[in-house]
Every structure is written in structure tokens, then in C-alpha cells.
Amino acid sequence: MVTIKYNQPLTSYNTFRMDVIASSFCTVRTLDEVQELIVSDKLAGKQLLILGGGSNLLFCKDFDGMVIHVQNSGIRVLREDEDEVFVRVAAGENWHEFVLWCLEKGYGGIENLSLIPGTVGSSPIQNIGAYGVEVKDVFDSAELIDLKSAILYPIDREACRFGYRDSIFKQELKGKVMVWSVTFKLLKNPLIQLEYGAIREELNRMGRLNPGIKDVSDAVCNIRRSKLPDPNETGNAGSFFKNPTISAERSLLLKTAFPGLVSYQLPDGNVKLAAGWLIEQCRWKGIRRGDAGVHPKQALCIVNYGNATGSEILELAEDIQQSVLEQFDVLLDMEVNVI
């Protein structure tokens, strides 16, 4: 039996620590509970919000609807051979805890994604990525629950239409399904990826000259901790903006006008710009407006220093967007979902 709570504070359910209230709230741990909830009349006419770790949300007001907090658990090896292992993980499992489980087993593929906050179920929705790796690189399939019919059905990698911080779950399937589990294809003989960001430099500093996946994970954790605030101490959602992609021609023009432009060549010929660099050039790094601010060590991260409202955070973000657009003629898209 699912217990419905009313006027539930959500402060502890979102990493920005926004002090908002959900008119209805429930936690689901089993498939039976979800299906019971859907076939009942308790969701009729209500706006739904599927909540994992709340690490990619900005609440600007109370939520007038039903929040369904997914807390199912379990990690299971489905099949394996000498080279690969397929692991099904419940959506409610903590992402970094799953990374640590893989490291313990010697399964490679997600070590570059260490210390990303949130749950496993959110990972394909956002196609989370860091240091040259995205979830789509190790994604095999997922189990979805249709929020109208309560039917559990599979979806494969191709059908997810993964893009940069994007997927079908943020497009056609938004608000229509719940991710119930994700199956990953991992490697028993991992391919170490060190070419992106400061991983190699950090490994050298650590004295790890022949790194394995645990070394890579440790390096990534060190880098993230040095640049990003702990959401348990300072409210934030990590990177607030996506790194924008522009054509090679536009990149050359910008490089001429701004020789220090930080950019990365993409396989398709386009160029990805470092949003943090653009923001920093507009002198936003370390700026604080009341309790809303830009982190002094990472310009991509907008923080709540205590009592900022979602509207204050959003206003700051929109002002940053406008100034980058005016100076560079580049529009920054928000990575965070605004509710």
C-alpha cells in the first residue's frame, strides 16, 4: 500500500535546498506499488513529477501535483563473457554508489563519471557525462513504466535518441514514463580514458603512472571536489549550463576576436565551447547576490548560500545568459530543469 503525504516539504529532496512544498508526495519501492498507484484514481488530473536524487532540479515555486519519489533498489548481473558484463541496476540506486560497486568488481566504463550526484534512473534521462564519457557509451537498455497503462516495457539504446545532455525522456516521453531500471554494458578489460580535462595531470600529481579504473575514479573525485561545492553543504545542482556547440566557421571567428577561447573539436566537425570560460570572461565568477551566487572556483555552478529562492537563482542564471549572448553571440542552454 502506497502512503500519500500532503503538503510535503521538499527541502531535503532537492540539492539546491529550495524550501518548497509538494501538494502530494509518495515514495515507491516496488513495481506493485507503482502499478497500484497508477491504476488507482490517486493520480487522476494531477501534474506528476518523478523524483530521484533531486540533483538536477530548480524549484521556483511550490509543486501543485504529485511527486513520486523512486527508491527501488538492487544490482544484478544479467549475463557476461570474458570481455563484457551486462548489469541491471534499479533506478533508485545512488549513482556514485553504483560506480563504487563497479570499481570493486573491476568493471570498467563509468569510472570517469564518478561522484556525479543523483540516482541511476536519472542517468539516461540527462545522458549524464563527464571527462569524455557519457552514459550512452555504456547504456544497453532500460525498463520503463508507462504512467497511464502501468505497463512495464523495455527500451533499447537506439530508441533513446541520446544527445548531449538529452534523450527521448526529455522530449517525447517527458512526463509519460518512469525509468524503473537501467542495464549497462561494462568491460572486464577496461579501456582507460585520460584525454579529457585534467585527469592525466591529476594522476601524475598522485603518482599513478600506470592507472587502472580505481585510479581514474580517484583522480576524477579529486578534481570534482576541488572545483565543485558539496551539495550537502552548499545548495547547488552542479553545472547549471550546457557547453554550447557551434560551427567550426563561427569558432574561427570567435577565436580571432577572443584568442583565449577554450574549445573542443567534435567528431562531426562542430566545436564545443567551454561555458565556464565564457561566463568567467563576463566577470560572473564569484559574484553573489544575497544568497544566490556563482561559485568562486567554477563559473558553471550557481549556488544557494542559504536562503535564496528559486526565482532569485533563475534570475541570476538568465542575467548570465544575457551577458554571454551580448559579448559572444552565444546562447547558453540551461542544464538544470526549472520547475
Q: Which of 336, 323, 333, 235 is CA-nearest to residue 281?
A: 323
One of 24, 122, 217, 239 is an active-site residue; which one? 239
User: In terms of DSSP bridges, do strands 21-28 and 63-70 run parallel, antiparallel, or are they unpaired?
Assistant: parallel
pLDDT at 34: 96
Whether the CB-CB separation of 90 and 123 falls below 8 Å is answered with no
Q: Please indicate whether residue 1 or residue 205 has the higher confidence score (pLDDT).
A: 205
Inter-residue contact 302 to 295 (CB < 8 Å):
yes
Annotation says 165 is catalytic:
yes
As a whole number of angstroms, the distance between CA 119 and CA 7 comes to 24
| Per-residue confidence (pLDDT) for residue 261, from 0 to 100 | 93
Q: For the residues 261-285, what does the mean pLDDT come to?
A: 93
165, 217, 224, 263: the active-site residue:
165
Q: Which residue in the block uniquely carries the three cell numbers 594522476?
A: 203
Q: Looking at per-residue confidence, does 152 or 268 come out higher? A: 152
DSSP 208-275: -SS--HHHHHHHHHHHHHHHS--TTTSEE-S--BPPPEE-HHHHHHHHHH-TT--EEE-TTS-EEE-H
- Residue pLDDT, tens place only, 102-142: 999 999 999 999 999 999 999 999 999 999 899 999 999 99
Asked about 225 being catalytic, the answer comes back as no
* Mean pLDDT value across residues 70-83: 96
Percent of the chain topping pLDDT 70: 100
What does the block give as the cell for 123? 542517468
Quick check: is 224 catalytic? no
pLDDT at 209: 84
Please report the domains of the chain, with CATH numbers, ordered by start residue: 5-70 (3.30.43.10), 75-187 (3.30.465.10), 235-338 (3.90.78.10)
Query: Given this model, what pLDDT does residue 264 score?
Result: 86
What pLDDT, on a 0 to 100 scale, did the predictor assign at position 41?
A: 79
> Residue 112: its pLDDT value, please?
96
pLDDT above 80 for 197: no
Percent of the chain with pLDDT over 90: 86
